[in-house]
Structure formats: structure tokens, C-alpha cells
Structure 1
């Protein structure tokens, strides 16, 4: 039996006819919705005997493969003895610029449909029509050609021939992959305590198409324990691909290392890492236009050869590998990573590529979702990230500026209406310049919708201003605002903050659980895991659990004796911080004098940290100290961590911010880290947003203060403390500096391994 390759008509023609450049000049954001309307508008003019959205399917044998090709043609028109395939294309381009043969891939798609229909109905010839419609003006332009069945057949056979090398490569990879997975042992001689249980729970969850919330402590090998069973399930045909989602670069590197371990054990598997565009761009400015960037110019002419090249020679495709091949083939490394991800077995990427509505990658993977699994590492980070993904804000100033810059245009009129709205809403604010509204401000949404349409018309014209960046930025903010308005419900509020200079209005997502749940439903299974997914109920509420979901809490594999825990019961509340500094200095001096080593001390704010740091340096100039800056790049972060050496002969103290870049995802094993000090209980700063969250959850019957402040704060504390013990041989000391740690609430939130503590006498 021949191997069967299933593919859509669109994927077939877009692969074979791949050509042209990346040219990210302005394109209207309403193309998808307006395009659907345009399609329906044309289809509504069809005659009664015509058919629309006609499903067509055929099988074609080529060499040692059987290709199953299917798709839906927009229209099947009957005009006497003539039958016409109508392919509708909506566009924001001026129709005058589109000639009959301007876009060969459009003809190719229609001709494949014509071939399938002619083959099914034994027709000698078919007519093919391209109907272009402008999404703003509704103007139409049509082209028509007539082909014999023989011409169509030869054309389609050539298409399949052009696709064959790629299909053959992917098929051979799948055979080798599945064989290697079948033979794949666990990469280590033994399972750590809790590791087998965690891996087994993930395999069971995938098999049953369910979801899992797992608190998996540091030290059990969460990364390999999640990836290994998922790969095993993939090899058994239970899924087609996996997404490993992270919030931080360091966690992505951990995933890459896990795949590398498995490769060393014989795994054949394609895994691609997607890195943010601005981080991988080869040019000084991230400007994706063919006239500026040689890596964008002619990109689609070269992409097929590059994909064949990299998949013929590589399996684990990291950022460095992508950059090497991108330079070799003169390709944009970011777009190259997306094209590779489309056919990879595993994708390692940030949360936003799946959950953020502003990122279009989700649509890119639509056809794969149901057969995909999400592994969400450090899932505690997803709560606040999701809140921002589903929120949207606007400010007054840009609309006032646009009103003036585009005077005499509809854009100016529309901008003025929005500006006036901001003026009126400011009048409703309290004396401290704040206003909270539960209901969706539909009148504002209508004004913003009108602004978007006017901005699109302006942006599609030759530029009137040398710099259109303000208009572009405001346009994108406005489209995000309209998009958010469509999901606005009782889990949102709208708030306003105003001062003499500016007015800000934000649709704020208080509870992202429903939105996360809706996206999660499209995938076969979702695994949320973290070393600090505690309290369980809080995170399950916030991430959108259901009754059928599994939970798993694995105890720490480390002995209590490995960690000495101390609590220094002093007040670190804002008003007491000046007074607390001397007590913290004395405690640090006693700590480092009693045990030489490397220490990290975390503070709740930069200001507090710098103040203690400066006084410590003055009091103890002989002790080496380093401090976190508030805008460190990756190189500076690495240099900071490199100071924590196994063989340091003097004491080192690193001053860092709680909840910052060094308080999670940092792996300092052995004597690289001997102690962690956490100052404060990590409460988020008092602000309007947190108070709104508090009031909302209080209204739902929960402890609003805990949901807004206590739990997010304690999570930072747990993450910071988790930097200390990373292996069975590590030992060290944790000092928790705050009197609140001795209260019943915080005692209940301490992990079991921290509850055997000593109190430091002040």
C-alpha cells in the first residue's frame, strides 16, 4: 500500500508557486473579516443554479506516493454548456495594479479545482475565473480563462511533481522519527523521586484528551519529564505535534537541552525554537520591506530550498541553527522560523504565539490544533501575561495630534470625535483622576471602529506625512481595542486614569480564565506545570479549570536537612523600610561571617534594594557585591550570573529584585549559590488595577485581597527561594525577612520543606 499524503489545494499551490518578497508595508487589519463579507457579497449575486463553497477532492499517484488533495472552491457557476470555477480574492491593493497574470498562485488554485471537477464529471474543458474585490471600495475586477482537461491534468501533475521532494522528505522523516521514538529509552539511568509519577500523569492526560494542573517541585526534572511522555504519545499516533510554551528565554533553553539529551539517545525529531523578531533580526532596524532588507527581498523565491536543506541536515533547530541557515539562504530568520514551525514536530516558543489574540500565529496553526498538545512551563506566569493579552488601552494625545496633522480629512474628523470623548470622560473622573466602569463603553467602540476605517483609507493612500508612525501605532492600538470589545463580558471593567497631561482608558481583563479555556479547548490536551503552582485552587481558578481536569502535587525530592530556613520577624512595609535597613544589614553581616559563600538577596523594589546596597557597601567594603540594573540585556544578565562561581574564595552577595529576571528560571547548582534572602512578602504595589481585581474577586465570593495581592506576592517568594536547592547534593540557607511570615495566613502558604524554621532574634 502506497503512503498517503493528505494536503489542501491551497497548501499545494502556495508551496509550488512560492515566490516574491516579504514586504510588510501597511495592510488593513480588517482583511479577514471584511474579506469574508466580500466573499459572501459576491456569492449572493450568483444565480439560483450556481453553487458556493463546493468541496472537491481527488487522489493522484506520483512515483511511490498517493496524494489526497482537497479543498473548497468559492463558486461553481453554470452558464449554459459552460461551467466556471470562480475563485474570489479580496484585496486592499488598488485593482488597477492587478493584471491578468499578476498573481500566478491564484490561477493555480482555481485550476486545481477545475481539474478535480472536470475529472469527477468527465468534462473536456473548464472555464476558470478570478474575481478580485477591493475590501474598502467594493470595486470588482474579473479575469477568465478556458482550459482543456488535458491542460488542467498536465498542470496538476506538474504541481504534484514539484511538491514530491518535500513530501518525500517529510514522509521519510516520519518513518525514522516513529521508529526512533519506539526505541527511545528515558535519557537517564533512573527516575528521580516523583519524576515517573509526573511523566505518567502527562501520558495519561494526553491519552484521555484531558488537561492537567501539576505542581512539580524543583529537582524532579520537569522539562524532560514533560517532553519525554509527550514524544512517546506522538510516536504512537496520539498527536501530531507539541508546543512547549514558556515565558522566559532561560526556560526555552532548558527545553532545547532536553531535546538534545533525547537526540543523544537516538531520537530523530524536528524541534524548532521561535525567537522574537526584534531579537533575531539581522538588520539594524526591524523593517521588513524588500527595498531595505535583502533577507526580505525574494524571500519566497528561496524558502523551499532552504526548508529542504535544513530538514535534510538538522533535527533540533535552535535559534543559532536557524540563523546559520537563514544567512546561508539569505532569509529573514524570524519568518524562516515560522515556516519551519509549520512542519516541525515540536515548537518551543513564548505563550503569546498561542494565547495572544494580537499574534496571528494561532491562525497559522489552525489545521493542526486538534492534534496538538500544549506543555505550559512556569504556568504561574500565565495569569498576569494573559490579563495583558486580553486587555486593551487607548490614550487621548495621539488622537489630538492626528486631528491636527490630517486637517481637512475624514481621519481628522474621526480623531476629533475620539478626542472629544476623552475630554468628556475626564470630566466624570473623581478628584484623584480615576473612574471605573463595569459596562462596555459601546459609544466609544463605535467611534474607534469609525477611526479604524478612516485610518485604513489614509494608510492605503500615498503617504501625506514623511513619518506615519504615530498613525500606524494608533491604528494598531485601535484595532486591538475593537478586538477586545468583542470578548468584553462580566470579567472585564473599563477604567480611566487622568491628569493634566493625559487621559488613559483601558478595557481591563480581571479574570482571563474563560479566554484561556476557550483557546485550550481547541487542543488535544494541555499540561500546566510549575514548581510554584500554589495555592492550587487559585491557579486553577485563574487558568480556567473544569471538573474533568486532573491535578497533581508532587512532594519535593529533597531532604529537609538540605535547607536551613530562618525567619527574621521585622516589618518591611513601606513606612518601616528606613528603620528596617540596619536590621537587614546586621542580619547579612552575621550570615556571611558565619558561612562564607555566594548569596542572593531579593528586595520588593529597586529603590529599597539600592538603598540597602549602598549602605551595605559603605559598612562592609571588603565584601564583594553586585547589583541588578533595571534594564539589563542578555549579555549583562549572563555576566551577573557568571560571578556566582563554584570556587569563589571570598563571599559574594548579589542584590536583586523579587519577581525580576534573577528570581526564577536561574539554575545555580552546588556551591554557586549557598543562600537566599527574601525581604518582604512580595506584595504587588498598591494601585488601581490591583484594587479593581481585589473588588472583583470579593464580589464573586472569594478573598479578593488574597487573589489580588497575597497569592501573586507569595509566588514571587517561592520562586526566589527555589533558586537555592537544585540537586540532591545542594545545601544552603533561606532567610525570610518579614514579620508577616509568622502569621497563620503565610504559615499556611509556606511549602512543607520550609516549615522547620528558626526565628532570628533582632
Structure 2
């Protein structure tokens, strides 16, 4: 729809004109249950079958027939256009038909059905204006029963309806103009929520204000305790309200979302007038016992499609900060889908907080906001260092033989006609055979079990097309037999979507930042993304301004490149505001943690740890480059006696077990020695507040494993910036070190130490990428310095020695 207030002209499609009150619901109805793509395929298939049938009977038959006409209303000229599914003449009468596929009974009183009927009547109105005699039919394809039936629709003059809709459009846009004027005044209600600024916080606020005024992108490295959340949020809200902009806050974890939720509540309690929402993942906010987004099985979604959603949205928007609890409560009252309600409510919000996926994922992003230009929005990327790897994963899809085997197994146990089952198996076998052909690229006894290959898109896309045809038949047959469409989690549907996504990335993977790989051990094809910077750059450049912030966004120049921020982006680094006397940082460079030297120094590491933790009872953390290294040192520790118990991180720990670990560290005052890995669930994104951790030992610089893929990344960065090892190994590894060290100092009251163990920490090559405000000394006897540190802090407590064997915990 295009509106020109100067010429008083409106260009609008028939679909838009009919959907003004139900637009978002129609989009939902098209996407529920099955994916948009598969639903569209069913729709196309239904259209073609019916159109072919009519074409045999009537030679005047036309498909996708353009209907276009102008009307005048309130001094405005409205150009209305659209394409009718079927138009043909019969006995001097024009027949207009629309074809709709559905899994539910067509009820002309449903909101969505009314919308479809109105579209049909608006097409007919174009012929009425030409003085033609017109009849209308709604052709319904019943997917469950594989049947077509035609419903005659009454032809009515649409002048009154068009006038009503146009008036609604004009009134709405006048309202928006007026609301924008009011919104500009709302910024005056937003004030800094505290009496005093923290050190450097006012400087950060002013820096952010100036950047927003100039439409700049900024990167901020600011330590914990400085108040960077409010430091960028406050000026962003004030500026956005004054300039009619929307704010998106992208986070990598729900803990960060809770921090923003509390910050927004504090600001609204301070009389700030704005609306905000914390978006929750669909499965987490689902009201239903079983997660299945299909109205035939989910009464919440069925009710949503037939409910005037504006009532609930208006109720929600009386709240300044919307979270899942508030949204679910309203959704449960009305028995409607909480997730779709949250998306509808987000349209009326000034601030939207959600996972990175909602903004940056090429498939999951919020299309209602990002399919159109979004330069009227600001994005704040929190803990931005996490987006680098997350975005790489977005663009690194894979297809494996295991995927195919599991899908075929599901197909065989699903009761379908033999012909259909064989058809599916044949298609899956073609893909399996194509993948197997790459086995010959792996050299027997060679160094690598992964090789660069050239995936032929004609083959994989051809297989996808055949698979899509099979899926259409599968869905139809499944629904007929079970009287329900397959769940979105159905293995066949999931695999079809996975292959489609693989091919969508394959189409854009001919540039240097991608490599196509065959992995011999996994027997899989993968599109390997070495850097997602160019993809992120296109998205970042679409915003009015982008703010990337983190306590570990260092070096800033490195993250500027990795996040795709423009060359002219502004960068600001702030030092720690915590008391220096509470922090002790040392290196112990007298051992080597390089891969081939590790076994020689395991006793030295275990002895150093035991000597250093005996002066104060409490929790201590040790982070290793790998689980293998962790196990070797833990075996050495078991041979000693101490009063501190072991907690050992395991690979792929469940959320429940992780919480159990943290609970022990928080509640048990006897003290633990927790062993974990760099970049793991305990070394990043966890707040060890207060006495939860009073010391950390970091074993080596945490470099990524030496793999075929990492070597490809190294070559890419060398070719592009002449910084291959730095960008592929050193910087990611040292960022893990900074993250791990940050677990000890979470507030100005925290006291503790950090020991960096290994020769490499002593070299300028590695130390130059540590924060500039870190005061680090090299110590031959760090345990003595630690003893003095605790003595100065008057916390000395010599721990008694007992047997460790009965105290080890996993």
C-alpha cells in the first residue's frame, strides 16, 4: 500500500483492502502447522489441479487474471488492483473464483473466511463497474479428504465497504501522524533513573547520544559494574521517542533479557512513558500441553484466528513492560495463542527485547519488521561478542547420512500406501548416494577426514524439488488417514525444511567466506561459513544506528570486522571501575600448556592450584582448553588431600545439572574446586556473585582446536587482512580468557585473584589483546602472593587437610 498525502492518492491491493483488520492473522493462518513453503506448495498444487480441470471444460478460462479499477472517496483517488485465481465467461456471465486449501471446515462466519469472501467480492466489483453480469464461487480444497467443493458467494456492491475501509486507512494514518507528535513529547518523561552516575557512565551516555544524532554505529567495551545497560538504554529510549524510532535489543541468553526487563521496569517506575516487550520463544510461551501449531489440534490457535485480537493487544499495551507471564495470563483468559498475541502486541511497542535469532537469523527473523526498510529502528546488541559465532552457525548448515537414515526409518513405520513410501525412500536414497560419492575425496590414512568439495546445486535442488512433491503427497495422505496434518516436528517435514535451508545457503556460498565441505567421519555435507561479517553488515547497515556492547568486546577493531560494522563506526573502551586493591592478577609462565607439552606439566599445575587455594576457604574455578586436559589434571588432583571438594564439568551437561552445580557453589560454604573448559557454560555468561568464586586459574590461552575448518578460517583471514592466526586462533582464544577471568569480579565488593598459567601469557603477542587496565605481574611463587593478598584483606584462614577420595563430586 502506498499513500501520498500531497496528491491524495492511495494505491492498494485487493488483498490489503480486504485484510485491514485481519492482516496479521492471515499471515499466521498461512504459516501455522506446516512451514510457509510447504503450505504454499499445497496451495499451488490445489490451484493447478482445479485450474487444469476447468480448462478442459471452458476454453475462455483465464488464471491469475488482473483486476484493476479506481474509485473516489472523501476527495481521494484510490487505485485498487489484484489477480483473481480463475476468471471465465459462461452464457454472457463472468464467473470469478478463488481457490483456498484448508484443513478445517470452511465457515463463512470465521474472521479469515470473511476476509477471503471479501476479496472475491472486491474482484467481482471490478467487473460490475464495467457493467458486467458477475457470479462468484469460493472453491475449497479439503486437504483432509482430498476433495474440492464450490460455494456460491453473493455478489454485492462494494462502494460502501470501500469507503469504510479507505476512511479507516486515512483516519489511521492521521492518527499515526498525531501520535508521532505526542510521542515526541514522551521523551521528556524519560529521565536517568538514579541519583548519581557510576564512574564513566555519564561519559557513555553522552557518547551514545551523539552517535544516535549522527546515525553512527558504535562498539563499546565496558566492564561489569559500570552500568553499561542503562548507559546505552537510557539515551536510546530518549532519542527514539523524540524521533519516532523503535528500539530492538538483541540478546544471546534469557538472563540478559531479565536484566533488560528489570532496567525497563526501573525506568517506567521513574515515570518514563513507553511500551516494551520481552519476546519469549514459541515453545516456551506455548499455552498448550503439546506443542503443535495447527488449529485442528490447538484450540488456542483456533480461537486466536477467530478472535478480535485488538481487544487483548489494547489491554496489554496498558502495561509498560510486557513479559511472558503477563502475556500468558491474558492469552489464557481469552484461550488464544500466547506467542501470536506477543507478536501482535510487539507492533505497538517502542522497545522489543529478544534473542539474536529474531533479528539476525535469515530464516527466523521477524519479517513483519524486517521485510520492509527498517531505518526507523535502533538495535542494541548485548554481549555482542557472542553474535560472531552465532551468526557463523546461521550460515553453516549441513546434511548427514544419519539425518537421512532417521527420516527413512520414520517413513517406514508411518502407515502409508506402499507406492508413496517407496517414492519417498527412492528420493532419500538419491540424496544418500550423492553424499556417498564424496567418500572418495577422503584420503585413507590422510591427515584430515574433511575435504573441500564442490556441491552441485542442480543435483541437491533437483532432489529437493522431488522431495517437496513427495512431501505434498505425504501431507495429504497423512491428513486423510489421521484426520490431522503432520506436526511441525514431524521428521519428514523437518528434513524437507532442513534440505531447503541447506540449498538456500548453498545458492549464496560461492563467495570466499564460504567453503563446501565433505566430512568423512560424520558422512555429511556442510556449507562452512568462515566469517558472517558480510551477511551481518547488510543487516547492520539497515538500521538507523547499531550499538554493540560487551564487557569483553576487545580488541574493538577485531570485533568491528567480525560483526560487519562499517569502517567509520565509533569505538569506545572503558576501564574497570572496581577497586584495584580487591583484584589480584598474575601470570605463571614457568610451564608450557602447548598441546605436545601438556603431559609434562600436569603435576606442576595441580600442585600450584593446591598451594594457592589453602589460604582461604571458598570456591575456586579452573578452566582448561579441552575436556581431555581437564581429566588429566583432575586425575592428578585426586591423588592429593585437601578440604576443598571437586566439581567437574561434563560434556553436554543438561540445564538441570548446570543449575545444580551453581546452586552448590552458591549455598555450600565448605568450598569447591570447580574444573571446567574455556568457552563453556561456566566460563561465560554466568554471574558468580559475591563469594561464589574467589579465585580462577586459567590454563593456556584457550585457542580453538587445530582442525581442517579452523585452518580454512585462518587462510581466509590471512588473505583478507593478513591476520590469519590472530583472527582465527589468538583473538577468539584470548576472548575466552577474558570471559573466564571476569567470573570472579562481578561487583565492586568482590575480592579475588586470577592466575594465567602458561608461557604464552608472558609474550606480547598474547598480552597485547588483554584489557589495558589489567595490572598483571609475573610470579614464580604465586601462592605466596595469594597468601599476602588474603592476609592484607584480613581474611586469612588456614584450611585443615582431609582425604579427598570421599569428597569428589561430578
What TM-score do the two structures reach when normalised by structure 1? 0.82
Q: Distance in 2 between matches of 1:19 and 1:362?
A: 11
Q: Deviations over 1:41-83 (max 9, x none)?
A: x9xx999xx86688999679xxxxxx9999864479999xx99
Task: Name the residue aligned to 2:433.
Answer: 420
CA radius of gyration, larger in: 2
| Structure 1 pair 73–24 and aligned structure 2 pair: CA distance change class (3 A) | closer
Task: Name the residue aligned to 1:459.
Answer: 474
Alignment of 1:287-302 (within 5 A): 287-302=292-307
| Structure 1 pair 86–609 and aligned structure 2 pair: CA distance change class (3 A) | farther
Task: Name the residue aligned to 1:391.
Answer: 396
* 1:339 pairs with 2:359: no
| Structure 1 pair 315–123 and aligned structure 2 pair: CA distance change class (3 A) | farther
Task: Name the residue aligned to 1:540.
Answer: 560
| Structure 1 pair 253–621 and aligned structure 2 pair: CA distance change class (3 A) | same
* Mean CA deviation greater in 420-429 or 621-630: 621-630
* 1:232 pairs with 2:238: yes
* 1:583 pairs with 2:588: no
Task: Name the residue aligned to 1:470.
Answer: 491
Please, which runs of 5 or more residues in structure 1 have no aligned partner? 61-66
* 1:259 pairs with 2:267: no
174, 193, 196: which is aligned to 1:187? Answer: 193
Offset, 1:176: 7.9
Kept after mapping to 2: 8 A contact 1:658/1:682 = yes
Alignment of 1:308-707 (within 5 A): 308=313, 310-311=315-316, 313-359=318-364, 361-363=366-368, 365-367=370-372, 369-399=374-404, 402=408, 405=412, 410-431=423-444, 432=446, 434-437=449-452, 439=454, 441-463=456-478, 469-490=490-511, 491-499=513-521, 503-569=523-589, 570-613=591-634, 615-616=636-637, 619-634=640-655, 636-645=657-666, 650-707=670-727
Q: Distance in 2 between matches of 1:686 and 1:572?
A: 15
Kept after mapping to 2: 8 A contact 1:602/1:679 = yes
Q: Distance in 1 between matches of 2:69 and 2:745?
A: 61
Alignment of 1:59-74 (within 5 A): 73-74=82-83
What SS does the aligned partner of 2:547 have? strand
Q: Distance in 2 between matches of 1:717 and 1:53?
A: 64
What SS does the aligned partner of 2:398 have? strand
Kept after mapping to 2: 8 A contact 1:390/1:484 = yes
Offset, 1:25: 3.5
Q: Deviations over 1:310-343 (max 9, x none)?
A: 4254221122222333333323333332232233
Q: Deviations over 1:600-659 (max 9, x none)?
A: 3222233443554465466345224434444555555444334445x9754443333321
* 1:200 pairs with 2:206: yes
What TM-score do the two structures reach when normalised by structure 2? 0.77
Offset, 1:747: 1.5
| Structure 1 pair 311–454 and aligned structure 2 pair: CA distance change class (3 A) | same
Offset, 1:232: 0.6
What SS does the aligned partner of 1:29 have? helix
Kept after mapping to 2: 8 A contact 1:88/1:130 = yes
* 1:276 pairs with 2:289: no
Please give the root-mean-square deviation of Cα atoms over the aligned residues, in Å: 4.8
Offset, 1:488: 1.6
Task: Name the residue aligned to 1:712.
Answer: 732
Q: Distance in 1 between matches of 2:25 and 2:38?
A: 26
| Structure 1 pair 758–288 and aligned structure 2 pair: CA distance change class (3 A) | same
Offset, 1:715: 0.9
What SS does the aligned partner of 2:548 have? strand
Aligned residues: 737
Kept after mapping to 2: 8 A contact 1:598/1:653 = yes
Please, which runs of 5 or more residues in structure 2 have no aligned partner? 1-7, 52-59, 413-417, 783-810
Kept after mapping to 2: 8 A contact 1:303/1:336 = no
Task: Name the residue aligned to 2:785.
Answer: none
Offset, 1:694: 1.7
Q: Distance in 2 between matches of 1:319 and 1:340?
A: 12
Alignment of 1:44-55 (within 5 A): none
